[in-house]
Structure 1
């Protein structure tokens, strides 16, 4: 990431300036330094994304938490779901957003699934047979490795995998965090740049100019000593406003920030909006200013649930239904949208329309509302 210097003090010897026609040296208060460096970005591996994204970026952290907590809070209707699986599902959804793939391990008592456990994606290796078909998973841990083979007859396996679409690798998947990695780097570097600026008295760098006589110049030891004294006595928020006593022909010249340097705040906001876009979270819900896409907070919240949370929960419910059905009786899971408070106004309006429809009976109304038919009393 190519960023300007922040808070660095440059000691400039004016005796090195070219002589004018009158024979006197031209006083040059500023020294321009340009670094030719390649932009550096975070590696797309799981560990780097966790450190630079989830652990160090507040936008990523909040997006992952909102999606995981919201998705895990949606109850799943149907028989066969192990009890106390909400915590495992929250971790499952979090891994899915960070890594692009997530795994659930079945806790078995005989052939019965009594619990679920989310497995770290970086500890799982998919296995394939000689024909390249999925054959199971290898899970590594400190105690060793465990193999979960897929039964070719029943398709039963102790681990379920769910991956977000990746055109280059369907098994590995691609996470929203990986798509937003460049924006995460921009946002993090902007934060570090602002922090470095504040640590250096919230001022840009300056130049200490030596105005000695003709042919005079500072020695290397004197330059090094001046740098040490500047760092020790005038750097940091606790030393803001200290007067500087100069002697021996020294003069301090402050460097101003250019408009492009001052624009880092807007750049961080745009990077934050890109991160939120990749995760499917309306920027308004994250407190990012300047977003007028939604007329109010409630509308943005409903869009978040409808476009991000509910589709994710529905896809997970279908995958879990197919997986749990291999352990015994058929399992059919579906999200209980009536329990989602954010969608309550929509559900109320739907019920009002169905009650007003006199051309359908009660069971048809229940089916359109996503409810099971009434039990017939014999």
Structure 2
């Protein structure tokens, strides 16, 4: 679909690239057409999905408690993991670079409106709901990054220009538009790509039916309470009693004022002319309303890869033992870690771009070990093994353990424990020093000095 035009700045960049290639592709660079897909334009104008009698959009989906908890749980877990700049070492290890200037945007303040963790949380929420999160790098004249702005997905339109390069159109709060090339834009995608090959797949659009059922079920339940749970009740009159149209309207208005709503559900009714109040013996459980609610919650949890017990659905799972612990570990490993990997790689390739075929030594990554928090007993066993002992080497120093527990370092606490060499087989524990002393002494005693007979005389 065409109809969107590049701004003057983007059109000049297009003209310069095309002139360098000597490809007369665009005769009038100021009117270069944008190539965009129908789905992009549909979402650009605020498209929605009508499923199960309700409108399903990213905003209305958050009305569902299951969707809200799944999204905030995933995004909150991601923002809890420390993010920073690291350096690749020649031995294959990595070293954190705490004084790198980019850590200001990643950890402290990407812009004047939010902190670093909040920026990651907002991008994660946008990615989980719409499949895409966007951030725009602002630079000074010398090329130094000054801030990273967050844009809601509804105000960003990615597209390909006529030379198939990727551009992004940002709509500001005042209604003005800005077009920026992909190298200045952070695009945090969800799983997969759409038909245009630019945007990630949206969980809301692909699973609108499941989310719509969850919202519709709760709306129906709320309507039951709003009407005072009188939906299955009816009133009968004697056969010879003729009820006129005006009488029916007056009786309905009487019921509405007298018994509608939870607050009036138990008020007594006064019936005249032989009218009888009867109730159909169908409860919410008989109609399988509770089962439908439970199923819809589990179905939503399945969409976002969240264990049901982590969003409060524990009717079919135990809350004790190692089963819950293993499911929690699986959530971090199979659900959160892929999202964190996508975020880290996108930040790395935009902040430290590859020049030629050389991969830069600096990169951005999360610290997933910060999410491994256990009870006091588990932590004690872990740190005891990490410090070493009982003839086993350690892999952490005392100061490293103290740093994780927010304790000050101690003198001489930077040494990692390694056990001494094992003595030969059959040697006694006290023989180790004896063996060491024997190595210092010659194997045979030196011969006695020969006396001169002249000295004896």
State the TM-score, normalized to the length of structure 1. 0.72
**Residue from 227, 233, 238 that aligns with 2:252:** 227
Measured against aligned partners, the alpha-carbon deviations of 1:28-81 in whole angstroms (never above 9, x if no partner) come to xxxxxxxxxx964555xxxx5223211x11111111111112112212342553
Question: 1:8 maps to what in 2?
Answer: none
Question: 1:297 maps to what in 2?
Answer: 324
The 1-side partners of 2:199 and 2:158 are apart by 9
Larger CA Rg, structure 1 vs 2? 2
Question: 1:139 maps to what in 2?
Answer: 170
Question: 1:69 maps to what in 2?
Answer: 76
**Residue from 300, 311, 317 that aligns with 2:344:** 317
**Residue from 57, 65, 80 that aligns with 2:64:** 57
2:188 counterpart of 1:162:
yes
On the 8 A contact 1:140/1:146 being kept in 2, the answer is yes
The 2-side partners of 1:134 and 1:361 are apart by 52
Aligned pair in 2 of structure 1 residues 259, 82: CA closer, same or farther (>3 Å)? closer
Measured against aligned partners, the alpha-carbon deviations of 1:316-375 in whole angstroms (never above 9, x if no partner) come to 1111111112399764122222322348969x869959979x9x998xxxxxxxxxxxxx
Measured against aligned partners, the alpha-carbon deviations of 1:126-147 in whole angstroms (never above 9, x if no partner) come to 131224x233211012320111
Q: Note the C-alpha offset of 1:228.
A: 0.8
On the 8 A contact 2:227/2:261 being kept in 1, the answer is yes
2:133 counterpart of 1:108:
no
Q: Note the C-alpha offset of 1:120.
A: 0.8
Count of aligned residue pairs for this structure pair = 312
Aligned pair in 2 of structure 1 residues 114, 297: CA closer, same or farther (>3 Å)? farther
Counterpart mapping for 1:142-221 below 5 A: 142-143=173-174, 144-150=176-182, 157-164=183-190, 165-166=192-193, 168-213=195-240, 217-221=242-246
2:325 counterpart SS class: helix
Question: 1:366 maps to what in 2?
Answer: none
The 2-side partners of 1:41 and 1:202 are apart by 21
2:148 counterpart of 1:123:
no
2:57 counterpart SS class: helix
Aligned pair in 2 of structure 1 residues 191, 75: CA closer, same or farther (>3 Å)? same
* Structure 1 gaps, min length 5: 1-37, 151-156, 363-378
The 2-side partners of 1:170 and 1:116 are apart by 25
Q: Give the RMSD, CA atoms, in angstroms.
A: 3.4
The 2-side partners of 1:101 and 1:203 are apart by 45
Comparing 254-263 and 179-188, the one that deviates more: 254-263
1:334 counterpart SS class: strand
Measured against aligned partners, the alpha-carbon deviations of 1:250-280 in whole angstroms (never above 9, x if no partner) come to 2222223267753111111111111111111
State the TM-score, normalized to the length of structure 2. 0.60
The 1-side partners of 2:383 and 2:189 are apart by 33
Q: Note the C-alpha offset of 1:289.
A: 2.3
* Structure 2 gaps, min length 5: 1-49, 86-96, 109-115, 396-457
On the 8 A contact 1:88/1:116 being kept in 2, the answer is no
On the 8 A contact 2:123/2:188 being kept in 1, the answer is no
